[in-house]
Structure 1
Amino acid sequence: MNRRTFFIGAGGALMLAGSTTAWMSSVGSMTDYEAYAKRLRADLTVPPNIRDLVRYATLAANSHNTQPWRFHAGDGFIDILPDFSRRTPAVDPNDHHLFVSLGCAAENLAIAAAATGWPGEVQMTPEADGARYAFASGSMSTSPLYAAITQRQSTRVEYDRRPIPVADLAFLEQAADTPGVHLTLLTDRVRIGKVRDLIVAANGVQMADPAFISELKRWIRFNPRSALASGDGLFSAASGNPVLPNVLGRFAFERFFNARTENDTCARQIDSSAGVAVFVGDRQDKMHWIRVGRSCQRFALTAAHLGIKVAFINQPIEVARFRPELAALVGDAGRRPDIVLRFGYGPTLPLSLRRPVQAVLG
């Protein structure tokens, strides 16, 4: 579930000199981008149709914005299944993040369906290869998290260092409470600093891995035109970076995306955050990964409802040798941490895109 940023230095900015018209044509229009992002988040009818429920489900958090899911509607249920063609083996070799992403989508679907007249419950599919939302009789159950589905985003910039009120921290913990999942919130600066050091160390390992760099580069969208064409990936403006023509974006990535600048960025972003959330499942299997995703999604939606920003910082989970130290730090020695988020108050950035419903429903 890790969303990365890259640094564009003065050298990259200078390369933008030249034909403004040609540059504008090559990157596309932010107006078109924002209009599509808004359509993706249009209100649901009551009761909604299956396609609209799936549209809201796809607004969930997911690793690298790969959207690694397929949806299948049957008699009284909607299945959320893995799409292994969209896996990220360098950063997620055992598909852990992929199944956490399915859990995030399942939670969005459950909240949206219950709020619009289709109550039900999330289960595992009969083959235990994904999540199932099974419709049931009951009344409409509106939650403030429903409205937050269209507002939630991973905000991958510095925050303003303000602390979160104790009552809101308790609200976040309560919302994320899930059987089989343990959440630890770190708000003291000493432990946050220890997490920062782990993240920087793990980030350095990843930055030295050519497979990791190559995989990440494939999912970056440097401009609105590329983002609209694919409907997926990590759009540079959604990380506070400038939009660039693809050729300049690739040059900037190769020239300025390095361990030194990334480690500095990670450290500053974590130091600017109000706290860190670490999610740990009781076991390492698909069912618990999906449960972690549901818990994580409710946390993120509750944060959006409260005006709090979140971003994934999963490096010490993705690099296996750092997991034991992270687990010990949060009091879960012997277990494998599943997800790490930082949270705090910060700006609103462009919302990410999703592929059309027809591409994922079948």
Structure 2
Amino acid sequence: MKPTSLQNRRDMLRITGASALGLAIVPTLTSCSTTDYDTVASKARLPDTRTKQALIELVRLATLAPSGHNTQPWKFAVTPNEIRIYPDLTRRVPAVDPDNRELWISLGGALENLIISAEHTGYQTDIAYSLGTTGDEYIAVSLKQVGAKTVEQPLFFSAIPVRQCTRNAYDGKPVVVANLKKLESATAGAGITPMLFTSAATIEPMLGYVNAGNDRQMTNNNFKRELTDWIRFSNGEAVKKMDGLASRVMGNPSIPRWMATLFIGSLLNPKAETKKDDKFIRSSSGMMLLVSANNDKTAWIETGRAYERFALLSTAMNIKNAFMNQPCEVPELRSQLQAHLNLNGAFPQLLFRFGYGPAMPQSLRRPLEQVMRVS
């Protein structure tokens, strides 16, 4: 998600050390201007005027869900009465997500967007999972048009094009208890339990697990290589690929990949990542951990759906959020987190922070023709 993000993936790689290396005075070398990037990002959040097919519009809205490293690991197949969501295993990230757990969380987010959009525009929906055979697994959504909104969720629907993982510092202001309760209520269900952390006494241990995750991941060459592969260092590279973690989204300058490789090793390290995450978490209103009763693909999908409900409702409340899922990605830390929270056999799936702060540039999405499954 990883939803990493759910499947990703979180507040990654601040190139704030660039000025110390003399890069602040280097002109941006890119074939795409900032304006071009923002125009392309905005276009993905508008209806596709090339087609009048209502179900294709539902697919577009589904693709606005978050995914780990913004890999967008999904394919869609559309028939007159059904949309199927397939995992795109060519876009998996095995170093951070070896069992594809966060990939399926990402698909759950896309599913939730699809269900909300379908029901908002007058379809009854029915969901079935076919998860038995690797390579031919899918989520099927049957659709019956009834002409009127079948579920009234205007806040959720209107938030779909606006929602983002906001990877910057927040202002530290608390979220009022009434809104926290609404977010908890929207997130819970289908075997998923949200756990809130809003006091320093409860947040500090979570911060410790995040930092321990940085120690493991930022000393793992495979992890760093995979992460670097999914960073889009320039606006031009981002628009060409239409996926990945764009520097612009993370508040970093647009620079060519060759230039980034000159200093990337000095920035992808536990100390730098911990400093950044300390700042981001301490500026947040709180954190939430999604816990599942089971640890299988169905539970992962439901985790993604639960997170997307939180993300959409929090967007409607002008509350930002971003993933901090390192403790759920490193197996030994996940076990330690289970023990720390006395989960009694339940499974930590997704950890994220939330709070108030300014919006960041939107991430990119691949064109619809690239996410449609060819029979």
Q: Kindly provide the amino acid, as one letter, of the partner of residue 29 in structure 1.
A: S
1:104-119 → structure 2 map (5 Å cutoff)? 104-119=109-124
1:100 aligns with 2:105: yes
Q: Please state whether the residue corresponding to 1:136 is helix, strand or coil.
A: strand
Equivalent in 117, 131, 145 of residue 139 of structure 2? 131
Q: Superposition pairs for residues 1-362 of structure 1, below 5 Å?
A: 1=2, 2=4, 3=9, 4-8=11-15, 9-11=17-19, 14-17=22-25, 20=27, 23-24=28-29, 26=30, 28-43=32-47, 49-125=54-130, 127=132, 129-138=137-146, 139-140=148-149, 141-143=151-153, 144-362=155-373
Is the contact made by 2:73 and 2:91 (CA closer than 8 Å) also made in structure 1?
Answer: yes
The superposition leaves residues 289-308 of structure 1 with CA deviations (integer Å, 9 ceiling, x where unpaired) of 10111001111111111100
Paired with 1:184 and 1:162, the residues of 2 have a C-alpha distance of 19
Residues 203-246 of structure 1, C-alpha deviations (whole Å, 9 max, x = no match) = 11111100000000000001111111011000011112222122
Q: Secondary structure at the match of 2:142?
A: strand
The DSSP-based 3-state class of the residue aligned with 2:214 is helix
SS at match of 1:119: strand
Cα distance in 2 for partners of 1:252, 1:315 equals 23
Q: How many residues align?
A: 358
Amino acid in structure 2 at the alignment position of 1:345: Y
User: Deviation at 1:125?
Assistant: 3.3
CA 151–249 in structure 1, closer or farther in 2 if over 3 Å, else same: same
1:138-169 CA-to-partner distances (Å, cap 9, x unmatched) read 43134211010011111111111110011110
Q: For 1:342, give the aligned amino acid.
A: R
Sort the Cα spacing of 1:44 and 1:303 in 2 relative to 1 into closer, same or farther, 3 A: farther
CA–CA distance in structure 2, aligned partners of residues 282 and 223 of structure 1: 41
* AA at the equivalent of 1:42: L
CA shift for structure 1 position 328: 3.5
Question: Residues 290 and 225 (structure 1 numbering): CA distance in 2 closer, same or farther, change over 3 Å?
Answer: same
Q: In the TM superposition, what whole-angstrom CA distance separates every residue of 1:305-329 from its partner, at most 9, and x where no partner exists?
A: 1100010111011111111232234
Distance in 2 separating the partners of 1:222 and 1:347: 22
Give the letter for the 2:114 counterpart.
L
The whole-number CA distance in structure 1 between the counterparts of 2:269 and 2:365 is 28
Deviates more, 1:114-123 or 1:191-200: 114-123
Structure 1 residue 97, shift from structure 2 partner: 0.3
- Distance of 2:14 and 2:341 partners within structure 1: 31
Secondary structure in structure 2 of the residue aligned to 1:159:
coil
1:1-33 superposed Cα distances (whole Å, 9 cap, x missing partner)? 222422321545623535x4xx34x25211111
Work out the CA distance in 1 between the residues paired with 2:295 and 2:317: 31
Match for 2:13: what amino acid? F
Q: Provide TM-score, normalisation by structure 1.
A: 0.93
Structure with more of its chain in helix, by fraction: 1
Name whichever of 74-83 and 143-152 sits farther off.
74-83
Q: How far apart, CA to CA, are the structure 2 residues paired with 1:27 and 1:271?
A: 37
Separation (CA, whole Å) in 2 of partners of 1:289 and 1:171: 22
